[in-house]
Amino acid sequence: MLEVRNLTKTFGGLVAVNRADFTVSSGEILAVIGPNGAGKTTIFNLITGILAPDKGEIKFQNRLLNRMKPYQIARLGISRTFQNLELFRTMTVAENVMVGAYTRDTTGFIGAMLRRPGTSLQDQERYAEAVEILRGVGLADYADEQADSLPFGLQRLLEIARALASRPKLVLLDEPAAGLNASESQALVGVLRSLQEQGLTFVLVEHDMTTVMDVADRIVVLNFGSVIASGAPAEIRSNAEVIRAYLGEDEP
Ligand SMILES: Nc1ncnc2c1ncn2[C@@H]1O[C@H](COP(=O)(O)OP(=O)(O)OP(=O)(O)O)[C@@H](O)[C@H]1O
Ligand SMILES: [Mg+2]
């Protein structure tokens, strides 16, 4: 589904992403892990067109994304969440999801923001669709609550629901378990698995190793912008170079 080849991005003298290579297969959950500053979020910014690569290729279903604009990439079926929650706090839960549908909306993002929902037939359909998407992450009962009234763990799920509103094929999740307690993380894993069963593909960046080991089909490890290992969770867990990157131990 996604092919990243020789991807490189520098900021001044800093090589944030260094000849990174990895692929994502349709229907899988791939985790990208690595220490702070390893280049994980930068890779998401490159895939979604927020940043342009210096070198390398990003192909989604065989189409080169390199020179596409973020909205064009979104329309091809890639959506994302952000490392810090980016919800519209005073809008309702359902409205947050409806705004997320803007990539398909002819009036666009600003139109979606300015219109008061609930008047036209199109709005009613969109509301029903938002509730359906919320059901998929277990939030249907909260549809009419104000977003910032939800507990933090549910706000994280709302962020995912909003990313699903554009009907993506591939969803990039930037630290979806950050700030979640153990039971909230378990709920997140259950939601991702059920969405996977419905045919979605995920790449998630995550520091919480329990969540990564529970949910990932495959793991890619980054260190200083380079891929240092990739494989099944069990292989990664016992990989010496990965352990060194995390624990900062010297070469033996
Ligand atoms: N827009 C930018 N301008 C300059 N430097 C940047 C920019 N974005 C990222 N960087 C730098 O690139 C490196 C990689 O950053 P990135 O945010 O991709 O790391 P990360 O793996 O997501 O880290 P974390 O786990 O802390 O979120 C860091 O050294 C960061 O300071
Ligand atoms: Mg990051």
Q: What is the pLDDT of residue 146?
A: 96
Residues with CB under 5 A from ligand 2 (ion): 40-41, 83
Instruction: Specify the ligand 1 atom closest to the Cα of 43.
Output: 18
CB environment 213-230: b (16+ within 10 A), e (fewer) = ebbbebbbbbbbbbbbbb
What's the pLDDT score for residue 122?
75
Pairwise CA distance, residues 243 & 5, whole Å: 25
Contact 160, 168 (CB under 8 A): no
Cβ atoms of 205 and 24 within 8 Å: the answer is: no
pTM reported for the whole predicted model: 0.91
Residue 194 makes CB contacts below 8 A (sequence gap 6+) with 136
Q: What is the pLDDT of residue 52?
A: 96
Instruction: Report whether residue 37 contacts ligand 1, using a CB cutoff of 6 Å.
Output: yes
Could you tell which of 9, 32, 40, 83 is best to mutate to test the pocket of ligand 1, judged by most ligand atoms within 8 Å of the CB? Answer: 40
Q: Which regions of the chain are under pLDDT 70?
A: 102-119, 247-252
Q: Give the pLDDT confidence score for residue 252 in this predicted structure.
A: 43
Whole-number Å distance, alpha carbon 43 to ligand 1 midpoint, is: 9
- Ligand 2 centroid to 175 CA: how many Å? 8
DSSP bridge pairs for 24: 2
Cβ atoms of 48 and 236 within 8 Å: the answer is no
Q: Which ligand is nearest to the CA of 245?
A: 1
pLDDT, position 172? 98
Cα(57) to centroid(ligand 2), Å: 21
Class of domain 86-167: alpha beta
Same fold, 1-77+168-252 and 86-167: yes
Q: What are the tens digits of pLDDT across the range 82-140?
A: 988 888 999 999 999 998 776 555 555 555 566 655 567 777 888 999 999 999 999 99
Beta carbon of 11 within 6 Å of any ligand 1 atom: yes
| Ligand 1 and 52: CB distance under 6 A | no
Q: Does residue 16's CB lie within 6 angstroms of at least one atom of ligand 1?
A: yes
What are the domain boundaries of the chain? Answer: 1-77+168-252, 86-167
Class of domain 1-77+168-252: alpha beta
